[in-house]
């Protein structure tokens, strides 16, 4: 159509404009070779001169597109001209230029009406032997450079473009000489007085809407065909661990692809390119990334056992064998199948855990799970239950005294103070460290008792302990000993007026003595004194020595 020029197919010395605009190109070298689409014009990089004479329809104005397929045979000079209008492409031009990193990049330049040359530099290094679609676009006061449909760069233009009557040079500039000429093949040169975008370029566009979905250790890709000059033959899948460095891993005719068996936690980047039926591979898509995740739950912990304590339960189990172990989760409640999380333990060797703060004599149920580094939680292991009990011992009593008597010993100890008191237990024996129980007292305030039935004259040993209502015993008190002894009675009787001291019945310890004194009243006298019924005469006193039996003493006065 008018204003659109497509130069292709060399015939004679003419490269015909297939748009019927009549802007044919003329060349002094007409060598054809296999091109991007059929035949292509070969440029020898030396004597080749190919030009399109001036035509108003080739002036850029405010909207313009120059696009061409190129394949470099060599890249050796400071620059290699692809298109040029005016000396050194001063009005507009596309070239490959050598930069400081010793690599070649595209440059698109155009002079605006203010006589300023605006340039846009490419960012992708060029190589020989590769077909590239190159497009320079002037649109909406912006100058844009595309490579294989991807934007390489853009710059404000300040247009419109400056007009000139210079011819358009293809593969060289209009300076004369053979320096900086293009060496390689060109195909499908198209000049348009409209600003095209990649959707209307003569190329295979990068696939669009590329998406990555994770399913365990598989990443599933999907995309859409963005269109192109020729039908797509296959899509090529590129993968890497960063978005810039990707390598071909596979190809498919479908618009989806699954990449299985990937490493958990590693981020993978993907790009997809379309290859058409001619074998041309377009620019890769934008990159997407995804990280495989582990969806396999670890094995349930085994061998859980529970040991009840005082207000606590101690849990223990077997160590998890999982290589990606992250934590144990401990669940507990006072109902079966507990789901209340009690705590988490971060090391696989943490296989013992004490659950505290429990109510004694209440059933508690427990089970645990294992969690891996990807957050997968195992099934519950075996369930256990336990009943915490009071195991706190009462305070130990202190035995204060052990007082011997006739066949008995009176014990006294300190009063204890604790809330769940049950009783005091007393132990006695004729050997040290007695274990024979002899009394139980259930009143915490009753701290004295008489232990009877003992053998007089023999040492007896005593200990006391306290017990609470849960059966916990304090442990033995200190030990005391005592020797019970016999006690005898002496019955003193006065018959007649007078006095007798001591009167009545007196208790006398074995082998002790007791002295009696007596007298008659005034104007009276003692008639006789009977000891155990035997008259001992008229005396005023009598002593029982080393008492070993019961006795009587009678005093008669008149």
- Decide which of 360, 386, 412 is a domain's last residue: 386
Residue 80 and residue 129 in one domain: yes
164 burial (CB, 10 Å; 0-12 / 13-18 / 19+) is middle
Tell me the HSE value of 155 on the side-chain side, using a 13 A CA sphere.
18
> Is residue 40 assigned to a domain?
yes
CA dihedral 150, 152, 157, 159 (to 10 degrees): -40
> Is residue 300 assigned to a domain?
no
| pLDDT in the model for residue 4 | 43
Residue 331 and residue 255 in one domain: no
**Is the pLDDT score of 3 beyond 80?**
no
- Decide which of 447, 482, 517 is a domain's last residue: 482
Residue 414 and residue 478 in one domain: yes
Give 458-482 pLDDT, tens digit per residue. Answer: 999 999 999 999 899 999 999 999 9
CATH value at residue 188: 2.60.120.200
| pLDDT in the model for residue 270 | 98
Q: CA–CA separation, 138 vs 149, rounded Å?
A: 15
Q: Higher model confidence: residue 370 or residue 203?
A: 370
Task: Quickly state the pLDDT bin for 174 (edges 50, 70, 90).
Answer: confident
Write out the residue range of the structural domain in which residue 323 sits.
305-386
Give 148-158 pLDDT, tens digit per residue. Answer: 888 999 999 98
| Counted domains in the chain | 5
Strand positions, DSSP E, 277-420: 288-290, 305-308, 313-316, 325-333, 341-345, 352-355, 364-372, 384-386, 399-405, 408-413
Per-residue CA distances from 538 to 254, 425, 553 (Å): 147, 57, 13
Structure tokens at 460: 């007896």
Give 304-345 pLDDT, tens digit per residue. Answer: 999 999 999 999 999 999 998 999 999 999 999 999 999 999
**Is the pLDDT score of 177 beyond 70?**
no
- Identify the CA nearest to 314 among candidates 363, 351, 341, 275: 351
Per-residue CA distances from 325 to 154, 267, 359, 385 (Å): 51, 21, 33, 26
Give the DSSP letter of residue 512.
-
Residue whose structure tokens are 């080393």: 546
Q: Are 207 and 274 in contact (CB under 8 A)?
A: yes
Spatial CB neighbours of 538, under 8 Å, sequence gap ≥ 6: 525, 526, 527, 528, 529
- Identify the CA nearest to 185 among candidates 308, 312, 447, 8: 8
Q: Are 9 and 16 in contact (CB under 8 A)?
A: yes
Residue 477 and residue 524 in one domain: no
| pLDDT in the model for residue 187 | 86
Sheet holding 364-372, edge to edge: 341-345, 325-333, 364-372, 384-386
Give 197-253 pLDDT, tens digit per residue. Answer: 887 776 777 899 999 999 989 999 999 998 877 789 999 999 999 998 999 999 999
> Is residue 85 assigned to a domain?
yes
Residue 62 and residue 107 in one domain: yes
Give 412-449 pLDDT, tens digit per residue. Answer: 999 999 999 999 999 999 999 999 999 999 999 999 99
pTM metric for this prediction: 0.48
| pLDDT in the model for residue 291 | 94
Q: Are 354 and 314 in contact (CB under 8 A)?
A: yes
> Is residue 125 assigned to a domain?
yes
**Is the pLDDT score of 43 beyond 50?**
yes
| pLDDT in the model for residue 202 | 67
Q: Higher model confidence: residue 223 or residue 87?
A: 223
Query: What's the mean pLDDT in 532-548?
Result: 95
Residue 444 and residue 469 in one domain: yes
- Identify the CA nearest to 363 among candidates 340, 389, 341: 389
| pLDDT in the model for residue 381 | 97
> Is residue 129 assigned to a domain?
yes
| pLDDT in the model for residue 5 | 44
Residue 54 and residue 194 in one domain: yes
- Decide which of 323, 354, 386 is a domain's last residue: 386
Task: Quickly state the pLDDT bin for 11 (edges 50, 70, 90).
Answer: very low
Question: What is the pLDDT of the chain when averaged over all its residues?
Answer: 91
**Is the pLDDT score of 551 beyond 70?**
yes
Sheet holding 313-316, edge to edge: 305-308, 313-316, 352-355
Give 480-491 pLDDT, tens digit per residue. Answer: 999 999 999 999
Q: CA–CA separation, 49 vs 175, rounded Å?
A: 11
Q: What are phi and psi of 198, to 5 degrees?
A: -55, -25
Query: What's the mean pLDDT in 83-109?
Result: 92
> Is residue 296 assigned to a domain?
no
Q: Higher model confidence: residue 279 or residue 249?
A: 249
Question: How far out from the chain centre does Cα 91 lie?
Answer: 63
Tell me the HSE value of 44 on the side-chain side, using a 13 A CA sphere.
10
Residue 225 and residue 324 in one domain: no
Residue 506 and residue 548 in one domain: yes
Residue 272 and residue 409 in one domain: no
Structure tokens at 182: 């293009």
> Is residue 274 assigned to a domain?
yes
| pLDDT in the model for residue 159 | 79
- Identify the CA nearest to 309 among candidates 390, 224, 415, 208: 390
Residue whose structure tokens are 């802007």: 23
CATH value at residue 375: 2.60.40.10
> Is residue 226 assigned to a domain?
yes
Residue 525 and residue 539 in one domain: yes
Q: CA–CA separation, 519 vs 336, rounded Å?
A: 92
| pLDDT in the model for residue 29 | 79
In this prediction, what percent of the chain has a pLDDT beyond 90?
A: 73
| pLDDT in the model for residue 328 | 97
Residue 67 and residue 169 in one domain: yes
């Amino acid at each position: 159509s008018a204003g659109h020029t497509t130069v292709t197919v060399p015939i004679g010395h003419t490269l015909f404009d297939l748009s019927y605009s009549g802007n044919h190109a003329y060349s002094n070298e007409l060598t054809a070779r296999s091109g991007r689409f059929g035949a292509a014009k070969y440029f020898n990089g030396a004597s080749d001169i190919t030009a399109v004479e001036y035509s108003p329809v080739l002036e850029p104005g405010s909207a313009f597109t120059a696009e061409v397929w190129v394949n470099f045979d060599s890249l050796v000079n400071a620059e290699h001209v692809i298109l040029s209008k005016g000396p050194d492409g001063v009005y507009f031009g596309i070239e490959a230029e050598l930069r400081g990193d010793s690599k070649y990049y595209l440059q698109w330049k155009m002079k605006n009406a203010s006589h300023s040359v605006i340039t846009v530099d490419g960012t992708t290094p060029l190589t020989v032997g590769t077909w590239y679609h190159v497009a320079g676009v002037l649109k909406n006061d912006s100058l844009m450079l595309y490579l294989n449909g991807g934007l390489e760069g853009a710059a404000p233009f300040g247009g419109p473009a400056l007009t000139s009557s210079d011819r358009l040079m293809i593969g060289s500039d209009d300076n004369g000489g053979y320096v900086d000429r293009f060496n390689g093949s060109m195909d499908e040169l198209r000049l348009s007085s409209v600003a095209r975008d990649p959707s209307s370029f003569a190329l295979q566009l990068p696939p669009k809407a590329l998406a990555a979905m994770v399913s365990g250790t598989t990443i599933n890709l999907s995309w859409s065909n963005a269109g192109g000059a020729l039908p797509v033959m296959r899509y090529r899948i590129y993968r890497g661990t960063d978005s810039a460095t990707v390598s071909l891993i596979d190809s498919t005719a479908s618009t989806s692809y699954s990449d299985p068996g990937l490493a958990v936690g590693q981020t993978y980047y993907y790009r997809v390119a379309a290859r058409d039926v001619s074998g041309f591979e377009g620019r890769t898509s934008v990159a997407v990334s995804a990280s495989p995740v582990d969806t396999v739950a670890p094995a349930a912990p085994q061998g859980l056992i529970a040991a009840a304590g005082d207000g606590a339960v101690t849990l223990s189990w077997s160590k998890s064998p999982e290589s990606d172990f992250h934590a144990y989760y401990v669940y507990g409640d006072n109902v079966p199948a507990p789901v209340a999380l009690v705590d988490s333990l971060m090391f696989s060797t943490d296989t013992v855990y004490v659950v505290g703060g429990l109510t004694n004599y209440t059933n508690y149920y427990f089970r645990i799970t294992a969690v891996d580094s990807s957050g997968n939680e195992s099934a519950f292991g075996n369930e256990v239950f336990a009943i915490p009990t009071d195991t706190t011992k009462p305070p130990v009593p202190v035995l204060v005294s052990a007082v011997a008597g006739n066949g008995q010993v009176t014990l006294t100890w300190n009063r204890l103070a604790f809330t769940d008191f049950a009783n005091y237990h007393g132990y006695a024996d004729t050997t040290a460290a007695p274990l024979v129980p002899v009394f139980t007292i259930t009143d915490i305030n009753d701290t004295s008792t008489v232990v009877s039935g003992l053998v007089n004259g023999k040492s007896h040993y005593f200990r006391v302990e306290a017990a609470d209502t849960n059966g916990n015993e304090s442990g033995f008190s200190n030990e005391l000993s005592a020797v019970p002894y016999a006690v005898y009675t002496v019955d003193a009787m006065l018959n007649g007026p007078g006095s007798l001291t001591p009167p009545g019945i007196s208790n006398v310890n074995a082998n002790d003595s007791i002295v009696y004194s007596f007298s008659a009243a005034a104007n009276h006298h003692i008639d006789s004194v009977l000891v155990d019924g035997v008259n001992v005469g008229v005396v005023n006193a009598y002593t029982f020595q080393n008492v070993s039996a019961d006795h009587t003493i009678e005093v008669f006065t008149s």
